[in-house]
Amino acid sequence: MSITADRIKELRKQKQLTQQGLADKIEASRDTITKYENGRRIPTLAMISLIADVLDTTVDYLQGKTDNALKTAHNGSNNGDDKKHVDLNDDELIMSFDGKELSEDYKQAIIAMLKTMREGKK
């Protein structure tokens, strides 16, 4: 069986969806889902995308290109990684590229762009 077939079945079960439940959500038949999960039929990229949305994962995960099943990072939670939130108001915002310190003008342009992007999300 393929990794895509295994992952569709695994995530469907984790979401406590029946094959019919998944089929209803992507407007397909239960038989189609059965064939995907048994590896007798390969879903199109468009179908994998629909399945990924319903199962709250990524196409890359379903295709075996990554082992990270999470669709999005958990906002505001500390999941044990060592990434630091950088506040754009920090006086000591340090940016470098390829080990070289960026010029002050370049830093300010990046900060301005990030502020504009953040404001666009609100």
The helix-helix angle for 19-26 and 45-54 (nearest 10°) equals 110
Check whether residue 92 and residue 44 sit in a common domain: no
CATH number of 23's domain = 1.10.260.40
Tell whether 13 and 53 lie within a shared domain: yes
How much is the pTM?
0.58
- Asked whether residue 71 is domain-assigned, the answer is no
Instruction: Classify residue 79: in a domain, yes or no.
Output: no
- Identify whether residues 58 and 88 lie together within a single domain: no
Q: 48-89, pLDDT tens digit by residue?
A: 999 999 999 999 999 999 888 887 654 444 444 444 454 544
Biggest alpha carbon distance in the chain? 60
Enclosing domain of residue 28: 3-62
User: Do 18 and 57 share a domain, yes or no?
Assistant: yes
In a domain, 15, yes or no: yes
